Amino acid sequence: MTTYRKKLLYTLIMLVMVVMMAVGFLLGHLFKSYYIKTFNERIQNETFFISTYIQEHGGITSFLEEGKTAKLTPLLDSNLTILSASGEILYDSTSSNELHKNHANILRKIILEKGLKQEEGYEVIEGESDLHYYWKTIEKDGEIEGFVVHSNEIEAIHQVNKQMWQILIICLGVALIIILMLASKITSYYTRPIEEATMAAIELAKGNYRTRTFEQHSDETGMLTTSLNILARNLQETETAREMNQDRLETLVENIGSGVLLIDSKGYTTLINREFKKSFGVNSATFLFQVFYSVIKDKEVISIIEEIFRTEKTIKRQVKIPLAIERKHFEIYGAPIIGTHDEWKGILLIFHDITELKRLEQMRKDFVANVSHELRTPITSIKGFSETLLDGALKDEKTLKHFLSIILKESDRLQELIQELLNLSKMEQQEFVLKTGDVDITNVLGDIQEMLIGKLKEKEVSLEIKSSSKPVFIEGESDRIKQVFINLITNALTYTPNGGWVTVNVTENEQTVDIVVQDSGIGIEEKELPRIFERFYRIDKARSRDSGGTGIGLAIVKHIIEVHKGKIKVESTPGSGTTFTVTLNKSLKGKV
């Protein structure tokens, strides 16, 4: 902005200098013209006076003889010359040796060419020093007796003109200095607000909307700075709102539970969120700003994108995408992005992970099918035997007793199944509350061992409980804890061949107790392990049903352990047996 101030100052200086030079030349010319005019008038008056004086005192001869020139010459500043009518010089105020031939020739020429025609006249001879001549005739008895000529060099005029120019230059120089000082102050006064406004505008253009300019004038520059500050405040408020909306949008996009993919109008990927990177295991550095078909490997997803580009319509479709070692189900919602003026800007894809929903849906289907099957089996038995009795078997007491015992057994099984479903449903409810107290694990396991003595002898399976001699206490509900280990040990006995073994090992830690139930049974396939805690899921359906199981024992076990804030895990090798490890807390306080 200093350049702008300098330009304005230089312009003012040049303008002032041109004006002052013009004024100087005009004044010089006026002064010179006035001086020359005054000089000529004085010579003219003096010439007229001498001519009249000579004529009134007897003419040239009498004037010269009486010696009156000696008295008159000192009174004159110019050279006086008296000539005869023929042009002969009769008197000249200069000394004879100073009377140059050129001067005499000029006088004769003026007299002979102009003096005889005009009574008086004026002539300027230009040269090294301009000579001014003024003549007037002297008449006697009506005839021209001679001429009076006044002459003088213009040197005096040059000297005066020189002094005049010196005075003008000094005055103009002082005036120029004063004007320059005033001009500098004025330009600084008027350009400073403009400079500040310009700097503020530059900062605004750079994006610094906090900049402000000082408001100190009430004129147009003041209006400019005020308007600029208002603009800066408005831009700052707009930018703050934009940044806030941008942060909200980024937070929303990054933390949304579904994957987001944005593709521009040319087919390049421009945005992915955290969930998309997590689901598909991609990196922003290698995935973004690439053509979509070069970074997306699934052909069905590419087909959806191409269809949106082609039809410009919204698409909602479920796809199954292989990722690493598993396959995930996604519901893809794709929509074209079209501007206000029907400008095509790209497409947006939302990937909803519905794998868990699909799994739950499949579990629901399996549950409905299993419940239906489990309920149908005892009901079918009861109905069949009842119909047989009604058809005539009532008369045979032995058959009647046998059929009624089967009906009672199936009714008990049906009642047990319904009761366990009710218990499981009750435990899954949030308002379920345990009746907690101190439970001695060693004592619980001893009671279970006594309950199963008959079955152990029947299958010739040994049950060994390894625990310390002193009691091992946990906090929980005694009946529920006993139900857990009855299920686990009963299952171990059921799936362990005759002559096998089952061991229960109790290990006390600082804050927890680990109970490991291990058997030498048939084991479980690795692919079956994730589903063994599902309701009605059976590994060996025929054997499980024959053993009198309901199919929801392990599901109840898992829920009981979870409400006790504990953990259960299973390890198994087909043909070598299965190991269940239950971890329970000594205290439930502070456990979530």
Instruction: Please report the pLDDT score of residue 126 as a whole number.
Output: 62
In sequence order, what are the beta bridge partners of 268?
Answer: 291
pLDDT of 98-138, one tens digit each?
A: 445 566 767 777 776 666 666 676 666 665 556 677 777 77
Beta strand 501-508 pairing with 462-466: parallel
Spatial CA neighbour of 472 closest among 436, 435, 504, 509: 509
- CB-based burial of residue 59 (10 Å sphere; 0-12 exposed, 13-18 middle, 19+ buried)? middle
> What three-state secondary structure class fits 551?
coil
CA 119 to chain centre: 100
In angstroms, rounded to a whole number, what is the distance separating the alpha carbons of residues 49 and 57? 12
Q: For residue 381, what are the contacts with CB-CB under 8 A and spacing of at least 6? A: 406, 407, 410
Q: What is the CATH code of the structural domain delimited by 257-353?
A: 3.30.450.20
Q: Which residue do the tokens 């199944």 mark?
A: 417
Q: For residue 374, what are the contacts with CB-CB under 8 A and spacing of at least 6? A: 417, 536, 550, 551
CB 514, CB 582: distance < 8 Å? yes
Same fold, 257-353 and 365-427: no
What is the full DSSP assignment across 495-506?
TS-TT-EEEEEE
In sequence order, what are the beta bridge partners of 519?
Answer: 502
Q: In CATH, which superfamily holds the domain spanning 2-160?
A: PAS domain (3.30.450.20)
User: What ranges make up the beta strands (E) of 420-459?
Assistant: 437-440
**For residue 218, which phi and psi values (nearest 5 degrees)?**
-110, 5
CA atoms within 13 A on the CB side of 281: 7
In angstroms, rounded to a whole number, what is the distance separating the alpha carbons of residues 399 and 401? 5
Structure-block tokens of residue 229: 């500050």
In angstroms, rounded to a whole number, what is the distance separating the alpha carbons of residues 55 and 49? 10
Q: Domain map of the chain by residue range?
A: 2-160, 257-353, 365-427, 433-585
In angstroms, rounded to a whole number, what is the distance separating the alpha carbons of residues 212 and 215? 9
* CA dist 552 → 372, 409, 579 (Å): 14, 19, 19
Domain 365-427, second-level architecture: Orthogonal Bundle (1.10)
pTM for the model stands at: 0.47
DSSP letter assigned to residue 306: H
CB 333, CB 316: distance < 8 Å? yes
Q: For residue 568, what are the contacts with CB-CB under 8 A and spacing of at least 6? A: 557, 558, 561, 580, 581, 582, 583
In sequence order, what are the beta bridge partners of 271?
Answer: 262
**For residue 546, which phi and psi values (nearest 5 degrees)?**
-65, -30
Instruction: Please report the pLDDT score of residue 102 as a whole number.
Output: 65
Q: Which residue do the tokens 């013209």 mark?
A: 33
> What three-state secondary structure class fits 467?
coil
Sign of CA dihedral 198, 199, 203, 204: negative
- CB-based burial of residue 419 (10 Å sphere; 0-12 exposed, 13-18 middle, 19+ buried)? exposed
Please, what's the b/e burial string for 234-270 (b: 16 or more CB within 10 A of its CB; e: otherwise)? ebbeeeeeeeeeeeeeeeebeeeebbbbbbbeebbbe
Instruction: Please report the pLDDT score of residue 52 as a whole number.
Output: 79
CB 371, CB 536: distance < 8 Å? yes
Q: Which residue do the tokens 């435990």 mark?
A: 427
What totals of helices (H) and strands (E) does the chain contain, helices first? Answer: 17, 17
CB 547, CB 494: distance < 8 Å? yes
Low-confidence ranges of the chain (pLDDT < 70): 1-5, 65-77, 94-103, 105, 112-119, 121-131, 153-158, 215-221, 324-325, 366-367, 370-371, 373-374, 377, 393, 417, 420-421, 423-433, 535-551, 590-592
What is the full DSSP assignment across 240-292?
HHHHHHHHHHHHHHHH-SSEEEEEETTSBEEEE-HHHHHHHT--HHHHTTSBH
Sign of CA dihedral 86, 92, 94, 97: positive
In angstroms, rounded to a whole number, what is the distance separating the alpha carbons of residues 301 and 323? 13
Q: In CATH, which superfamily holds the domain spanning 433-585?
A: Histidine kinase-like ATPase, C-terminal domain (3.30.565.10)
Structure-block tokens of residue 216: 């100190």
CB 552, CB 535: distance < 8 Å? yes
Instruction: Please report the pLDDT score of residue 75 as a whole number.
Output: 66
CA 154, 158, 159: angle at the middle one, nearest 5?
115
